[in-house]
Amino acid sequence: MHISDIDKNFKIESKIENDNLIWLDCHTQPFVLTGLAADVEGRFLRLPAELMERTRPDLAWLAKQTSGARLRFRTDSPFIALNATLPSVDLMCHMPLTGSSGFDVYSGKSMVMFMAPVTITTLQFEKLAWLSQPADDDGFRDITINFPLYNRVTSLAIGLSKDSAILPPKPTAYGKVVFYGSSITQGGVASRPGNNYANILAKNLDFELINLGFSGNAFGDSEIADYIASIPMAAFVMDYDFNSRSLDELRATHEPLYRKVRATQPNVPIIMITNPVPDIYCHIKDDENPRLDIIYATYQKALAEGDKNVRFINGLTLFGKTERDTCTVDNLHPNDLGFFRMAEAVYPVLREVLR
């Protein structure tokens, strides 16, 4: 007997025809949901509810979008199904629904399936995939489900074989790595969640991802800086440049954000990254980039004060030297190639500081 047999509120409406399928809510143990703030109501929020109440409304709204959220577990089920409900589906002219509102599923490091709404009126959708990837010697596979990059999630149920077992995921090799930045950090405009550069890095370096990318709203807000500084982390990626509304605002917030994190976590590695497209979007030459100068000044001052756990990445290197515009949709937001190149550029730096 299952709880849905005696409580209809737990019943998942499904059109998938499989008599051996059982649905489980994603909050059920031993599933492990990461990348989200704890919430007594079980909502999918990237910031604590009390912080959302006192921060800017735009930030609070973006915090409901689930970029970086991941569900992890191990199972010997021969298939996996998802059944998701979203409160709404919005179209963007430069981002497919598979990225903004879709999920993707990995077995180990291999993508198994993606699932997304077909139209903006499709608020509940589901999909099943058979798992052909090799299992461990014990017959179990490591499953990771990436949540939508630019949408809210009302519910998610996982469908597995009734005869299968579910185990907690293996511990990650490293603790939390926090990414703070703009729409690019949030994942605009990857074709699916797993292709965001932060997700690619989390997969390949095996850390717990915290994505605090806030589209158009990475202003270095004081309360956000305080929250970031309070998170015990293995590394902090300050992918924060482009959204500052002026040079004065960037100058007034960038170094204080670094110092708040450093004050609470004296040894945590901090990687500072600048805008990847000053040339093709802003038409700025590298030697005439005042935003880069401000961020580099924070880095240089930290070095001068003896901080050995800071790193700097010139954003101009992130897309490589050739076909740079091919890495974007609109000369600004990365496509999948752009995110892949970003991950390649950040990977050796992040790997070095984590080790």
Provide the 10 A C-beta neighbour count for residue 91.
11
CA distances from 85 to 82, 88, 123 (A): 10, 9, 6
Strand order in the sheet with 21-25: 21-25, 155-161, 79-85, 124-130
Position 215 confidence tier, pLDDT thresholds 50, 70, 90: very high
Longest dimension (CA), the chain: 68
Q: What is the pLDDT of residues 153-206, one digit of tens each?
A: 999 999 999 999 999 999 999 999 999 999 999 999 999 999 999 999 999 999
pLDDT at residue 11 is higher than 90? no
pLDDT at residue 14 is higher than 80? no
pLDDT at residue 286 is higher than 70? no
pLDDT the model gives residue 36: 98
Position 307 confidence tier, pLDDT thresholds 50, 70, 90: very high
Which of 17-31, 271-285, 332-346 is least confident? 271-285
Q: What is the pLDDT of residues 224-251, one digit of tens each?
A: 999 999 999 999 999 989 899 999 999 9
Query: CA 47 to CA 64: how far, in whole Å?
Result: 8
pLDDT the model gives residue 134: 93
Query: CA 245 to CA 99: how far, in whole Å?
Result: 27
- The fraction of the chain above a pLDDT of 70, given in percent, is 95
Read off the pLDDT of each residue in 283-294 and give the average, rounded to a whole number. Answer: 80
pLDDT the model gives residue 278: 81
Position 2 confidence tier, pLDDT thresholds 50, 70, 90: low
CA distances from 287 to 231, 262, 271, 301 (A): 35, 29, 21, 19
Domains present along the chain, CATH in parentheses: 3-167 (2.60.120.260), 174-354 (3.40.50.1110)
- Residue 5 tokens, joined: 């047999």
Query: CA 276 to CA 182: how far, in whole Å?
Result: 12
Look at 288 and 299; give whichever has higher pLDDT.
Answer: 299
Report field, pTM of the whole predicted structure over 0.85: yes
The chain-wide mean pLDDT, for the chain, equals: 94
- The fraction of the chain above a pLDDT of 90, given in percent, is 90
C-alpha distance across the termini of the chain, in Å: 47
Query: CA 37 to CA 44: how far, in whole Å?
Result: 8
